[in-house]
């Protein structure tokens, strides 16, 4: 462990217990609030309803299922690239990107111009007619995927894409059962809720028949794993017997996967779906080599392999354009959403011609999928990623930020794990690193609120809502990363002083 942890140890070399550590007198090393990087964009003056009226309308006329963040919900007015502005003109660095959706930047000029031109030309025809943008986009998108993934079906959301992927898998294989990881999020529709394995999303009604979950190969929180297991610039501080390039934990998790295949599903299955890095669960990564072995086992059972790229796709992991490429696999079906449209509602399923043909045996129709506006936006997003070198930026800035955040992990006992790849980052908060018990929700919320008050918006995730999720627009800079890390550092120190004062 890095030298910074020396300050967390008592004489005799034993780490302080969680209570003793958190109650010790904490001396701040940050004397002033972090300075926000400059931005030359000036937002328009807010001219809509008052905050109080907006809040009242929200309470009376908007579904209570649509929850807001923070004690005092933000009323956002305008966005520009990595920045958001509220109704009073306050500026925030957006590190959550509309839940990993704003890929190239808020109101990116190229994307904005493309949709403005299309708005004046043609909004909608449905896909029963040809229009230039759907063919142009289909060719451009599939050129970025390896053979034989060359057929695209355009939809409107990630849940809808995963729903369709399940349907295709069952039609093609003529089998029914599908396996997903515990901790997975694949959508909130009645079909995909069977694949989603996070308690708060379960509503206690019948859903997702034929879906089984298997142990999540989490090398930080799971029973096996340690310091040489995952494809990330930052490894866990857990010790293990793995040597560099060899992950013995992987063998243990594969045995659990085999156990699921042997006990929970029939001899033949429809498929297996996984995110290359889990998103809602807090950027959880699997041991290197796990997916390659799991894909082989699934195909032996007659199943297809589905990669949910809703959060990991379009260059966000940095080293590759698609998350599955970081695992050295080629899936049979790929689902795309969120960053595909930079905030415009669109999604896609990409698969092989053989699997796609199974859907064509009968009628399957989507009114808005592949509409002219969506296809033009999707093409402009792909152009922006290439022209702005955003995949490379994700790798460079993401790696830099991960390494800087790892210094906070080494300094603070409550920062249990820093993980991720590119600009898909998780910071898991714990009471102490030995027990790995989740930090209480109220304490995490205080840190989270402090970050917001200092101008940084981050997400939350994990089975216990214990992980900060950092997944910003891919245009952020190293100066932005420095500001964000300093804000998080300050928020952590403030928290330690609060704890010490109790």
CA torsion 189-193-197-201 (nearest 10°) is 60
Q: What is the pTM of this model?
A: 0.92
Helices 132-142 & 372-387 angle (0-180, nearest 10): 40
At 14 the pLDDT is 30
- Write out pLDDT tens, residues 336-383: 999 999 999 999 999 999 999 999 988 888 999 999 999 999 999 999
At 245 the pLDDT is 66
At 455 the pLDDT is 97
CATH pick for 110-387 out of 3.60.20.30, 3.40.640.10, 2.60.40.10, 3.40.50.170: 3.40.640.10
Strand order in the sheet with 91-94: 76-80, 83-86, 91-94, 456-457
- Unique residue bearing structure tokens 């029963």: 128
Angle at the Cα of 386 from the Cα atoms of 342 and 145, rounded to 5 degrees? 85
CA distances 412 to 7, 179, 475, Å, are 10, 37, 29
At 228 the pLDDT is 84
Taking alpha carbons only, the member of 94, 76, 74 closest to residue 85 is: 76
At 363 the pLDDT is 86
Task: Give the CATH number of domain 21-89+413-501.
Answer: 3.90.1150.10
Backbone angles phi, psi at 458, to 5 degrees: -130, 160
CA distances 58 to 325, 396, 444, Å, are 42, 40, 26
d(CA 194, CA 188): 9
Q: Where are the domains of the chain?
A: 21-89+413-501, 110-387
d(CA 134, CA 482): 41
Residue 322, C-beta contacts closer than 8 angstroms, at least 6 positions apart: 144, 145, 276, 307, 309, 312, 313, 334
At 24 the pLDDT is 45
**Which residues of the chain fall short of a pLDDT of 70?**
1-32, 243-245
At 31 the pLDDT is 41
Taking alpha carbons only, the member of 312, 297, 305 closest to residue 231 is: 312
- Write out pLDDT tens, residues 430-476: 999 999 999 999 999 999 999 999 999 999 999 999 999 999 999 99
């Amino acid at each position: 462990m890095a030298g910074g942890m020396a300050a967390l140890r008592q004489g005799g070399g034993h780490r302080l217990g969680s209570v003793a550590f958190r109650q010790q007198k904490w001396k701040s090393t940050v004397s002033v609030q972090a300075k926000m990087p400059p931005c030359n964009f000036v937002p328009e003056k807010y001219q809509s309803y008052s905050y109080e009226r907006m809040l009242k309308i929200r309470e009376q006329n908007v579904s209570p299922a649509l929850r807001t963040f923070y004690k005092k919900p933000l009323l956002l007015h305008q966005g520009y690239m990595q920045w958001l502005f509220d109704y009073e003109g306050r500026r925030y660095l957006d590190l959550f990107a509309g839940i990993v959706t704003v890929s190239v930047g808020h109101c990116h000029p190229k994307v904005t111009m493309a949709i403005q031109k299309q708005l004046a030309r043609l909004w909608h025809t449905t896909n029963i007619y040809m229009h230039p943008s759907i063919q142009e986009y289909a060719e451009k998108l599939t050129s970025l995927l390896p053979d034989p993934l060359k057929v695209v079906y355009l939809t409107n959301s990630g849940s809808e894409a995963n729903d369709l992927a399940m349907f295709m898998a069952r039609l093609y294989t003529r089998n029914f059962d599908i396996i997903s990881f515990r901790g997975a999020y694949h959508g909130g529709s009645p079909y995909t809720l069977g694949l989603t394995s996070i308690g708060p999303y379960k509503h206690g009604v019948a859903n997702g028949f034929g879906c089984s979950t298997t142990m999540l190969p989490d090398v930080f929180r799971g029973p096996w794993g340690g310091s040489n297991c995952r494809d990330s610039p930052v490894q866990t501080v857990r010790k293990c017997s793995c040597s560099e390039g060899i992950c013995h934990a992987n063998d243990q998790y594969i045995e659990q996967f085999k156990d699921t295949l042997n006990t929970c599903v029939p001899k033949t299955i429809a498929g297996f779906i996984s995110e290359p890095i889990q998103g809602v669960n807090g950027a959880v990564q699997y041991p290197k080599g796990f997916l390659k072995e799991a894909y082989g086992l699934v195909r032996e059972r007659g199943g297809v392999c589905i990669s949910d790229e809703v959060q990991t796709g379009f260059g966000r992991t940095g080293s590759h354009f698609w998350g599955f490429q970081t695992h050295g696999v080629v899936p049979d079906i790929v689902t795309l959403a969120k960053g595909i449209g930079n905030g415009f509602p669109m999604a896609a399923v990409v698969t092989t011609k053989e699997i796609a043909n199974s859907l064509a045996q009968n009628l399957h129709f989507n009114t808005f999928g592949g509409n002219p506006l969506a296809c033009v936006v999707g093409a402009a997003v792909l152009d922006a990623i290439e022209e702005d070198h955003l995949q490379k930026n994700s790798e460079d800035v993401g790696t830099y930020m991960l390494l800087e955040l790892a210094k906070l992990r080494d300094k603070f006992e409550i920062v249990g794990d820093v993980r991720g790849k590119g600009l898909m980052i998780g910071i898991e908060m714990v009471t102490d690193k030995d027990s790995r018990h989740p930090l209480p929700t109220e304490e995490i919320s205080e840190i989270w609120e402090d970050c917001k008050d200092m101008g940084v918006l981050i997400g939350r995730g994990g089975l216990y809502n214990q992980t900060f999720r950092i997944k910003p627009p891919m245009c952020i800079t190293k100066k932005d990363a420095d500001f964000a890390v300093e804000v998080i550092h300050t928020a952590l120190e403030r928290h330690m002083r609060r704890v010490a004062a109790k």
